């Protein structure tokens, strides 16, 4: 929903500068290296031409959805077909739209061109379920996804790191405790119902649950896992 199909979009993902653009010829989003092979101008500063090709803003070179150069304006029409030279191609990454998210695989070599047919991105059915409300957000954080996922799975930090933002928290039951702080921190009762290399399921004492699916999907719900209703996936 953040991408306008009428224009290319420059992004930096996993340290890669890429351009996302909509290929009208096949009605699909494409993800390329954000550098024209001619003079390395950012293709994200270019445009979609009248034939639906990605056009470089610097010298007008045009590329199809496979990354092949289709037109070099400065090349004589009756001269050698220099646009077909392999050095005139731009790296094109396998990409797919799933859960209303544009995913790409950061390898452009031939052996990975069918990777998304062999291994799809993580699928979260709740995002496509109209009974759920979906909110998208993007933030740049100076650490890896593993640190963020660990944070999401850590309820003990909430009363302190988010003090005053989460409303009044109920004090945890802890027989024998004589000291309580104003934040309401305390032991969190958790029961690990399932755990293996693929993740874990933790049932909560309030009938809710946490589920982690490796490597980066975390579900938290106030309802039992067999019920359908409010919940969140991160």
* Domain 9-127: homologous superfamily in CATH: Rieske [2Fe-2S] iron-sulphur domain (2.102.10.10)
Residue from 83, 44, 40, 87 nearest 63 by CA: 83
First-last CA distance in the chain:
18
User: What percent of the chain stands above pLDDT 70?
Assistant: 91
| Ranges of each domain in the chain | 9-127, 145-221
Span 122-181, pLDDT tens digits: 888 889 999 988 888 888 889 888 898 888 888 888 889 988 887 666 666 778 877 888
The pTM of this model reads: 0.79
- The pLDDT of residue 226: 58
Q: Is the pLDDT of residue 26 over 50?
A: yes
Q: Dihedral sign, CA of 212, 217, 222, 224?
A: negative
Range of weakest confidence among 71-75, 87-91, 115-119:
115-119
- The pLDDT of residue 172: 64
Reading the block at residue 165, the tokens are 């933002």
CA distances 56 to 22, 64, 72, 81, 154, Å, are 15, 12, 10, 19, 47
Reduced to 3 DSSP states, what percent helix, strand and coil does the chain have, rounded to the nearest 5? 15, 25, 60
């Amino acid at each position: 929903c953040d991408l306008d199909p009428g224009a290319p979009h420059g992004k930096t993902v996993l340290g890669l500068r890429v351009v996302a653009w909509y290929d009208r010829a096949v009605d699909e989003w494409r993800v390329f290296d954000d550098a024209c092979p001619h003079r390395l101008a950012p293709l994200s500063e270019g445009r979609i031409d009248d034939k639906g090709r990605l056009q470089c803003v610097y010298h007008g070179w045009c590329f199809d959805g496979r990354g092949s150069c289709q037109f070099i304006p400065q090349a004589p029409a009756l001269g050698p077909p220099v646009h077909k030279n392999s050095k005139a191609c731009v790296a094109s990454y396998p990409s797919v739209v799933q859960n209303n998210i544009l995913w790409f695989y950061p390898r452009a070599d031939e052996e990975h061109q069918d990777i998304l047919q062999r291994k799809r991105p993580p699928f979260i059915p709740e995002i496509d379920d109209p009974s759920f409300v979906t909110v998208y957000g993007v933030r740049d954080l100076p650490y890896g996804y593993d640190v963020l996922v660990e944070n999401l799975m850590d309820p003990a930090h909430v009363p302190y790191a988010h003090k005053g933002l989460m409303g009044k928290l109920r004090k945890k039951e802890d027989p024998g405790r004589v000291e309580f702080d104003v934040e309401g921190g305390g032991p969190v009762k958790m029961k690990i119902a399932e755990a293996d290399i693929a993740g874990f399921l933790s049932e909560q004492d309030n009938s809710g649950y946490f589920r982690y699916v490796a490597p980066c999907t975390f579900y938290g719900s106030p309802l039992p896992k067999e019920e359908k209703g409010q919940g969140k996936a991160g």
